[in-house]
Amino acid sequence: MDMNEKEKIEAQPAGEVKSELPDTKEGRLVKDLLERAPYAEGSVRRERRVEFKVPPERIHEFLELASEKFEMLMQISTVDWIKEGEFELVYQLWSVSESVHAFVRTRVPRENAKLPTVMDIWPVAETYEREAHEFFGIIFEGNPRLGPFILEPREYEKHPLRKDFNTLGHVKALYGEDFDRYDESKTNYVI
Amino acid sequence: MANVEVPRELKAEAKQHDMYLHPIDKDTYELFFGPQHMATENFSIILKMDGNRIEKAIVNPGFLHRGFEKLAEHRPYFTNIALILRICVPESDVPENIYSMAVDEIVGWEVPDRAIWIRNVVLEMARVAGWMFWIMGFGNEIGLYTAGQWAAAYRERFMRLYEELTGGRVYHIYTVPGGVRRDIPGDRWLRQLRDTVEYIKGKLKDFDEILFDNYITFERTEGVGVMDKRFALKHAVTGPNLRAVGVPYDVRKDDPYYLYDQLDFEVPVLKEGDSLARTLVRRYELEQDLYILEQLLDMGPPSGPYMVQDARLKALPRFKPPKGDAYAHVESTKGDFGAYIVSDGSHKPYRAHFRGPSQSHGVTVLEELLKGARIADVPVILKTLDNCPPDIDR
Instruction: Note the pLDDT tens digit of each residue in B84-119.
Output: 988 888 888 999 999 999 999 999 888 999 999 999
What is the span of the domain harbouring residue A150?
Answer: 5-175
Alpha carbon B246 to its chain's center:
21
SS3 label, residue B326 = strand
Nearest to A72 among B236, B255, B353 (CB): B236
CA B389 – CA B394 distance, rounded (Å) = 8
3-class DSSP state of A140: strand
Q: What is the pLDDT of residue A16?
A: 46
Residue B127 and residue B34 share a domain: no
Q: What is the pLDDT of residues B130-156, one digit of tens each?
A: 999 999 989 988 888 898 899 999 999
Listing DSSP states for B33-85 in one string gives E-SSSGGGSS-EEEEEEETTEEEEEEEE--TT---HHHHHTTS-TTTTHHHHG
* Domain membership flag for residue A180: no
Interface predicted TM-score (ipTM) over 0.95:
no
Tell me the pLDDT band of B13, cut-offs 50, 70 and 90: low
Q: Is A122 on the interface with B (CB under 8 A)?
A: yes
Q: Are residues B273 and B225 in the same domain?
A: yes
Interface mutation vs chain B, best among A48, A87, A149, A182, most B CBs within 10 Å: A149
Residue A99 domain-assigned (yes or no): yes
The answer to whether residue B362 is domain-embedded is no
The answer to whether residue A21 sits within a structural domain is yes
Going by C-alpha positions, the residue among A69, A57, A1, A61 that lies closest to residue A31 is A69
Q: CA-CA-CA-CA torsion for B293, B297, B299, B303, nearest 10 degrees?
A: 120
Per-residue pLDDT tens digits for B17-41: 555 555 556 667 778 887 877 777 7
Q: B366 and B235 in contact (C-beta within 8 Å)? A: no
Residue B117 inside a domain? The answer is: yes
Q: Rounded to the nearest 5°, which phi and psi values hold at B213?
A: -110, 35
> Does B161 lie in the same domain as B43?
no
Confidence class for position B6, pLDDT limits 50, 70, 90: low
- Look at chain B and count its residues: 394
The pLDDT value recorded for residue B21 is 56
Q: Which of B60, B87, B103 is the last residue of a domain?
A: B60
Show which of residues 39-68 on chain A sit within 8 Å of chain B, judged by CB atoms: 48-49
Which residues are registered as beta bridge partners of B338? B329, B355
Position A97 in a domain: yes
Q: State whether B114 and B141 are in the same domain.
A: yes
For residue A191, pLDDT over 90 is answered with no
Q: Specify the pLDDT at position B119.
A: 92
Tell me which chain A residue has its CA closest to the CA of residue B394. A150
Are B233 and A96 in contact (CB < 8 Å)? Answer: yes
Buried b (16+ CB within 10 A) or exposed e, A126-135: bbbbbbbbbb
Cα B268 to Cα A17, B239, B259: the distances in Å are 41, 11, 20
Judge whether residue B308 has pLDDT over 70.
Answer: yes
- Name the minimum distance, in Å, from the CA of B139 to any CA of chain A: 29
The residue of chain B nearest to residue A82, with distances taken between CA atoms, is B350
**Closest CB to B79 among A150, A161, A191:** A191
Q: What are phi and psi of B33, to 5 degrees?
A: -100, 105
Specify whether B86 is located in the same domain as B14: no
Within a domain: residue A183? no
- Enclosing domain of residue B293: 68-356
What does the pLDDT read at residue A30? Answer: 86
Of residues B106, B255, B340, nearest to A99 (C-beta): B255
Q: B248: which residues sit within 8 A by CB, 6+ positions away?
A: B267, B269
If asked whether residues B38 and B73 sit together in one domain, one would say no
DSSP alpha helix (H) spans, chain B: 8-16, 68-72, 81-84, 93-107, 113-141, 145-166, 187-207, 215-221, 229-234, 240-243, 251-254, 275-299, 358-360, 366-370, 378-385, 389-393
Q: What DSSP designation does A44 have? A: E
Total domain count for chain A? 1
With cut-offs at 50, 70 and 90, classify the pLDDT of residue B127.
Answer: very high
- Percent share of chain B, pLDDT over 70: 93
Q: How far is B44 from chain A (nearest CA, A)?
A: 12
CB-CB neighbors (< 8 A) of A131 in chain B: 359
Q: Would residue A82 count as lying in a domain? A: yes
Tell me how far apart the alpha carbons of residues B184 and B162 are, in angstroms, rounded to a whole number. 11
Q: Count of domains in chain B?
A: 2
pLDDT of residue A35: 87
Report the residue of B267, B319, B327, B340 to disrupt the A interface, i.e. the one with the largest count of A CBs within 10 Å: B327
- For residue B31, CA distances in Å to B35, B44, B55, B295 come to 12, 10, 11, 49
Mean per-residue pLDDT for B161-180?
90
Which residues lie across from A108 on neighbouring strands?
A87
The confidence band for B214, taking pLDDT boundaries of 50, 70 and 90, is confident
Residue at a domain's end among B20, B41, B60: B60
* Site from B228, B255, B261, B369 to mutate, A interface, most A CB atoms within 10 angstroms: B255
Q: Are residues B128 and B48 in the same domain?
A: no
- Residue A6 pLDDT level (bands cut at 50, 70, 90): very low
User: What is the tens place of the pLDDT at every residue in A77-112?
Assistant: 999 998 988 999 999 999 998 889 999 999 999 888
Q: Which amino acid is at B106?
A: I
Q: What is the CATH number of the domain that holds A134?
A: 3.30.460.80
CA-based nearest residue to A110, from A86, A84, A89? A86
Beta-carbon-side half-sphere exposure of residue B311 (alpha carbons within 13 Å): 0
DSSP A24: S
Is the residue at A186 inside a domain? no
For residues B133 and B149, the answer to whether their CB atoms sit within 8 Å is no
Q: Could you give the CA distance from residue B315 to residue B305 in angstroms, rounded to a whole number? A: 19
Question: Does residue B374 contact residue B67 with C-beta atoms inside 8 Å?
Answer: no
Nearest to B107 by CA among B326, B389, B255: B326
Neighbours of A16 (CB within 10 A): 9
Which DSSP helix (H) or strand (E) runs through A49? strand A49-53
What percent of chain A lies above the pLDDT cut of 90? 24
Candidates A3, A45, A73, A80: best to mutate against B (most CBs of B within 10 A) is A3
Ordered alpha helix ranges (H), B167-274: 187-207, 215-221, 229-234, 240-243, 251-254
Give me the residues paired with residue A95 across strands.
A100
Task: Using a CB–CB cutoff of 8 Å, tell me whether B390 touches chain A.
Answer: no
Q: What integer pLDDT is reported at residue A12 of this predicted model?
A: 45
Nearest residue to B351 (alpha-carbon basis) of B106, B98, B72: B72
Q: How far is CA A15 from its chain centroid? A: 25
Q: Are B77 and B352 in contact (CB under 8 A)?
A: no
Contact status of B168 with chain A (Cβ, < 8 Å): no
Evaluate whether A127 touches B364 at the Cβ level (below 8 Å): yes
Domain check: are B117 and B190 in the same one?
yes
CATH code for the domain of B257:
1.10.645.10
A151 in contact with B, Cβ within 8 Å: yes
Q: Which of B325, B177, B112 is nearest to A88 (CA)?
A: B325
CA nearest B355 in A: which residue?
Answer: A75
Q: Smallest CA–CA separation between B346 and chain A, in Å?
A: 14
Predicted TM-score (pTM) of the model is 0.86
Residues of A in contact with B234 (CB under 8 A): 122-124
The order of strands in the sheet holding B28-33 is: B21-23, B28-33, B44-50, B53-60
Of B233, B322, B342, the CB nearest to A79: B342
Q: Cβ A96–B350 below 8 Å, yes or no? A: no
Q: Does any domain span residue B180?
A: yes
Tell which residue, B385, B293, B290, has the closest CA to residue B334.
Answer: B385
**B364 in a domain, yes or no?**
no
User: Minimum mean pLDDT among A141-145, A186-190, B332-336: which range?
Assistant: A186-190
Inter-chain CB proximity A6 and B324 less than 8 Å: yes
Edge-to-edge strands of the sheet including A100-109? A41-46, A49-53, A100-109, A86-95, A72-81
Nearest CA in chain B to A94: B236
Bridge-based pairing state of the strands A139-141 and A114-116: parallel
Residue B373 placed within a domain: no
Quote the pLDDT of residue A14: 47
Please state, as a whole number, how many other Cβ atoms lie within 10 Å of the Cβ of residue A96: 17
